[in-house]
Amino acid sequence: MAWLVTGGAGYIGSHVVRAFLEQGIDVVVVDDLSSGHRAFVDDAVPFIEGSILDEALLRTVFADHRISGVVHVAGYKYAGVSVTRPLHTYEQNVTGTQVLLAAMAEAGVGRIVFSSSAAVYGTPDVDIVTESTPKSPESPYGESKLIGEWLLRDQGVAVGLAHTSLRYFNVVGSGYPDLYDTSPHNLFPLVFEALLDGRTPRINGDDYATPDGTCVRDYIHVSDLALSHVAAARRLDAGQPVDEAYNLGSGAGASVGEIMTAMAKGTGIPFAPEVAPRRPGDPARIVASGESAARDLDWRMRHSLDDMVQSAWAARRGA
Active site residues: 141
Closest CA to 16 of 103, 7, 1, 189: 7
For the chain, give the number of residues.
Answer: 319
DSSP 125-178: -SSSB-TTSPP---SHHHHHHHHHHHHHHHHHHHH--EEEEEEE-EEE--SSTT
* Burial class, 263, CB count within 10 angstroms (exposed 0-12 / middle 13-18 / buried 19+): buried
Q: How far apart are CA 141 and CA 154, in angstroms?
A: 20
CB 81 within 8 A of CB 119: no
* Burial class, 227, CB count within 10 angstroms (exposed 0-12 / middle 13-18 / buried 19+): buried
Q: Please, how many CA atoms are within 13 Å of residue 25, restricted to the half-sphere of its CB?
A: 25
Q: How far apart are CA 116 and CA 300, in angstroms?
A: 18
Closest CA to 27 of 18, 36, 40: 18
DSSP 222-252: HHHHHHHHHHHHHHHHTT----SEEEE--SS
CA dist list (Å): 45 to 36, 107, 128, 176: 15, 21, 39, 17
User: Whole-angstrom distance between the N-terminal and C-terminal Cα of the chain?
Assistant: 33
CB 286 within 8 A of CB 146: no
